[in-house]
Amino acid sequence: MKTAVWDTYVKSRSGDVLHFDIIVPDTVKEPAEIFGFGKTYLQEKGEDPEGLSAAECRFCHIEEPSQEMLAAIGQQGYYILEMDPIPASLGAGASRRDMILHLKGYYPAYRFRNFSGIPEEEVRTMLLNAENE
């Protein structure tokens, strides 16, 4: 089985952005069903499930699932891969990766942008421009 990965960013009650992937069989194509899985996850975490829509969640890629993913998909139809929350502020020594996650988490215009090949200085400029808009 191949799985479809849906990259998701949702603002939490604490003000941070929750970053997680919703992983489903690649035969599941209906966004409303996938958003439903994400909303269930958010509700289980004590977060507002209504914060999830197409603006926060988008298909990313197809991949081979791990055994853990297969077990969860067999049991509930989906798997959630949690990433670290994205804090509302960046520290002084933020890495390129941290800046990209911050842009994706807090500025919808950058949410699903591909940053491959973009130099760190350009990412830093994007961040400064986004913060000043």
DSSP letters for the chain: --EEEEEEEEE-TTSSEEEEEEEEETT---HHHHHHHHHHHHHHTTS-GGG-STTTEEEEEEEPPPHHHHHHHHHHS-EEEE---B-SS--TT--HHHHHHHHHHH-GGGTT---TT--HHHHHHHHHHHHH-
Based on the fold, state whether residues 52 and 8 are members of the same structural domain: yes
- Position 13 scores a pLDDT of 92
Based on the fold, state whether residues 100 and 72 are members of the same structural domain: no
- Position 93 scores a pLDDT of 87
Based on the fold, state whether residues 49 and 112 are members of the same structural domain: no
How many structural domains compose the chain?
A: 2
Based on the fold, state whether residues 15 and 56 are members of the same structural domain: yes
- Position 91 scores a pLDDT of 82
Based on the fold, state whether residues 61 and 19 are members of the same structural domain: yes
Domain containing 116 equals 96-132
pTM of this structure:
0.90
Based on the fold, state whether residues 26 and 71 are members of the same structural domain: yes
Which residue ranges in the chain fall short of pLDDT 50?
A: none
Does residue 90 lie within any of the structural domains? no
- Position 123 scores a pLDDT of 96
Based on the fold, state whether residues 73 and 43 are members of the same structural domain: yes
Does residue 91 lie within any of the structural domains? no
Based on the fold, state whether residues 26 and 70 are members of the same structural domain: yes
- Position 1 scores a pLDDT of 87
